[in-house]
């Protein structure tokens, strides 16, 4: 190897190691003596590494300098080589813009590159740009266009094994989004045994196959793929959390709860998870403990998930699960959890969830004999359902009002609510609610006939009470 080749190799190694940036690269006298083609190659390598390091601004600056060199110097071996370099750099600018979600600029840069390569009839270069344009279409959610572009890229003849594998992965994703799971699997099978694939891509192929088998609910096929994906993956990779969750879910669906717990506990014990990811796993683990009738561990997992949650969705889900466990031993604690859920829901403006939670909170308050608060929250639920025009739920709320008034021996109030519920059901065009109206009518008739002489026990039998009424009759429950 000549001295010049040794220095060039050393520069590449320094760029790849991160010890050389744009300024100290240009300061090296040897760099200035290199042919323009070699300078452009080194700047392109620096741009690619900067983009991988999450520095798109530096990547763009470096690429623009390389493009300026490629446009304004004439020491390339041929004009074709010079044009190919320009097209390569336009492609890199498109990649940078795409990674920063500037999709309009990305398409402009990529189409500029594609036009140059089409004039040169450079198929390999075209395939790379078409693949990149397919990625832009995927980011826009246009999977039909993305599929067409990616198939064109394959047809042009991608030679780079890594680039070909990524194109197959993206095509598989398009087919999944378009509902063709068999076609997606075929894309993955085509590259699974490619000998030159990096381990990360092997992991992604196996993970996607596992996801497809999960979509088909063939959990026994999904688990080996998730295992394979984990084997290929570095232990520090952020992709582990998704794989472990999916594998835990697959084990859970197979009824292998202890295996699911082992997998998820393994992840938690590694100590490298960030809080949002950890809260998701704790939530899933808690649900599995519920299915194993292990209330203590379930409650501990849900409590931990609440403390770590950084998204309202995870916090709400964990608090609801926690409250459901607390209902078995402390209605007061459960009520506090439900109220916290309600505050989060109200903040994010979900009217339907808010009405449902108001109704649930009212039921707990009634069971604790906090009747005034219960009536207030049940009325909130009623107004929410009226705004949503959910007739069945409105009638359900009215029946609960009647049930509580029956429990309190306020017969006339109970009758009034039952009549309102009956009228609401009769006005509905739903055949099912018309049948409900008949049930209410029977209850009202029985109650009216019984008021003069019946005690509460007899009325309960005649009215056919709801579960709420039975709970009230049993007493306050655990507090």
DSSP string, 104-172: HHHHHHHHHHHHHHHHHT-HHHHHHHHHHHHHHHHHTT-HHHHHHHHHHHHHH----HHHHHHHHHHHH
The per-residue pLDDT for 31 is: 72
pLDDT tens digits along 225-259 = 999 999 998 877 878 878 888 999 999 999 999 99
Using the predicted structure, report yes or no on whether residue 200 has a pLDDT greater than 80.
Answer: yes
Taking 70 as the threshold, does the pLDDT of residue 344 lie above it?
A: yes
> Which of the four pLDDT bands, split at 50, 70 and 90, describes residue 456?
very low
Question: How sure is the predictor about 436, in pLDDT bands with cuts at 50, 70 and 90?
Answer: low
Q: Tens of pLDDT along 108-119?
A: 999 999 999 999
Supply the DSSP symbol for 293: T
Q: What is the pLDDT of residue 238?
A: 78
Contact 340, 312 (CB under 8 A): no
Render pLDDT for 406-417 as a digit per residue (tens, 0 to 9): 778 787 787 788
Position 423 pLDDT exceeds 70:
yes
| Averaged pLDDT for residues 326-344 | 93
pLDDT of amino acid 155: 87
Asked whether the predicted pLDDT for residue 459 surpasses 80, the reply is no
Per-residue pLDDT at 207 exceeds 70: yes
Q: What is the mean pLDDT of residues 167-173?
A: 94
Higher pLDDT, 270 or 126: 126
- Percentage of the chain modeled with pLDDT above 70: 84
Confidence (pLDDT) at 451 = 57
Q: At what angle do helices 411-427 and 391-407 cross, to 10 degrees?
A: 170
Comparing CA positions, the residue from 391, 341, 344, 339 lying closest to residue 368 is: 339
Mean pLDDT of 83-96: 96
Mean pLDDT of the 191-217 span: 90
Summarised one tens digit per residue, pLDDT across range 292-331 is 999 999 999 999 999 988 889 999 999 999 999 999 889 9
Q: What is the mean pLDDT of the chain?
A: 85
Region of 217 on the Ramachandran plot (φ > 0 left; ψ -120 to 50 alpha; else beta): left
Per-residue model confidence (pLDDT) at position 348: 83
339: which 2 tokens?
Answer: 């109220």
Identify the pLDDT of residue 470. 47
Q: How much is the pLDDT for 409?
A: 75
Taking residues 97-103, what's their average pLDDT? 95
Model confidence at 418, pLDDT cuts 50, 70, 90, reads: confident
Contact between 93 and 63 (Cβ < 8 Å): yes
Per-residue pLDDT band for 462 (boundaries 50, 70, 90) equals very low
Is the pLDDT score of 4 beyond 80?
no
Question: Exposed (0-12), middle (13-18) or buried (19+): which is 315, by Cβ within 10 Å?
Answer: buried
- 188 vs 348: which has the higher pLDDT: 188
Residues 20-28 have a mean pLDDT of: 67
Helix 143-156 crosses helix 123-139 at what angle (to 10 degrees)? 170
The pLDDT assigned to 164 comes to 83
Claim: this prediction has a pTM higher than 0.75 = no
Cα–Cα distances (Å) from 330 to 323, 336, 361, 371, 473, in that order, read 9, 10, 14, 18, 18
Percent of the residues in the chain that have a pLDDT greater than 90, as a whole number:
52
pLDDT of residue 400 exceeding 90, the answer is: no
Please give the pLDDT value at position 26: 65
Q: Between 362 and 31, where is the model more confident?
A: 362
Query: Are the beta carbons of 308 and 269 closer than 8 angstroms?
Result: no
- Taking only the tens place, the pLDDT of each residue in 262-298 is 999 987 887 555 656 788 889 999 999 999 999 999 9
Q: Which helix (H) or strand (E) holds 20?
A: none
Say what the pLDDT of residue 433 is.
Answer: 64
pLDDT digits (tens, 9 = 90+) for 45-71: 889 989 988 999 999 999 999 999 999
What is the reported pLDDT for 440? 62
Look at residue 300 in the predicted model and tell me its pLDDT: 94
| pLDDT of 234 | 85
């Amino acid at each position: 190897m000549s001295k010049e080749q040794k220095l060039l190799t050393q520069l590449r190694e320094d760029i790849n190691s991160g010890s050389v940036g744009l300024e100290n690269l240009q300061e090296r006298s040897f760099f200035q003596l290199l042919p323009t083609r070699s300078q452009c190659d080194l700047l392109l390598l620096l741009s690619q590494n900067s983009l991988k390091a999450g520095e798109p601004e530096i990547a763009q600056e470096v690429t623009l300098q390389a493009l300026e060199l490629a446009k304004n110097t004439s020491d390339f071996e041929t004009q074709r080589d010079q044009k190919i370099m320009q097209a390569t750099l336009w492609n890199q600018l498109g990649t940078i813009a795409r990674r920063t979600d500037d999709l309009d600029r990305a398409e402009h840069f990529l189409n500029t590159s594609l036009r140059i390569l089409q004039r040169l009839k450079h198929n390999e270069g075209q395939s790379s740009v078409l693949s990149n344009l397919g990625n832009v279409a995927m980011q826009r959610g246009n999977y039909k266009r993305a599929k067409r572009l990616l198939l064109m890229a394959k047809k042009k003849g991608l030679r780079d094994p890594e680039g070909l594998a990524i194109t197959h992965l993206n095509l598989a994703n398009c087919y999944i989004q378009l509902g063709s799971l068999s076609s997606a699997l075929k894309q993955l099978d085509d590259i699974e045994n490619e000998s030159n694939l990096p381990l990360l891509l092997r992991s992604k192929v196996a993970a996607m196959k596992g996801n497809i088998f999960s979509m088909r609910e063939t959990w026994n096929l999904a688990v080996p793929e998730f295992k394979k994906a984990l084997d290929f993956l570095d232990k520090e990779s952020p992709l582990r959390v998704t794989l472990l969750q999916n594998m835990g879910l697959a084990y859970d669906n197979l009824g292998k709860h202890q295996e699911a717990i082992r997998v998820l506990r393994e992840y938690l014990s590694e100590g490298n998870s960030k809080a949002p990811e950890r809260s998701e796993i704790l939530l899933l683990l808690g649900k599995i403990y519920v299915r194993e009738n292990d209330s203590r561990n379930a409650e501990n997992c849900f409590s931990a998930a609440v403390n770590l949650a950084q998204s309202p969705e995870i916090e709400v889900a964990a608090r609801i699960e926690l409250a459901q466990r607390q209902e078995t031993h402390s209605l007061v604690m459960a009520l506090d959890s439900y109220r916290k859920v309600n505050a989060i829901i109200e903040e994010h403006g979900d009217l339907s969830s808010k009405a449902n939670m108001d109704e649930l909170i009212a039921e707990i308050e009634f069971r604790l004999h906090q009747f005034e608060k219960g009536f207030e929250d049940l009325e909130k639920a009623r107004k929410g359902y009226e705004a949503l025009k959910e007739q069945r739920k409105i009638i359900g709320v009215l029946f609960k009002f009647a049930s509580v008034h029956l429990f309190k021996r306020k017969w006339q109030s109970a009758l009034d609510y039952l009549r309102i519920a009956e009228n609401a059901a009769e006005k509905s065009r739903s055949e099912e609610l018309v049948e409900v109206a008949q049930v209410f009518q029977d209850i009202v008739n029985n109650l009216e006939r019984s008021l003069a002489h019946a005690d509460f026990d007899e009325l309960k039998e005649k009215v056919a009470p709801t579960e709420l009424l039975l709970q009230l009759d049993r007493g306050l429950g655990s507090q």
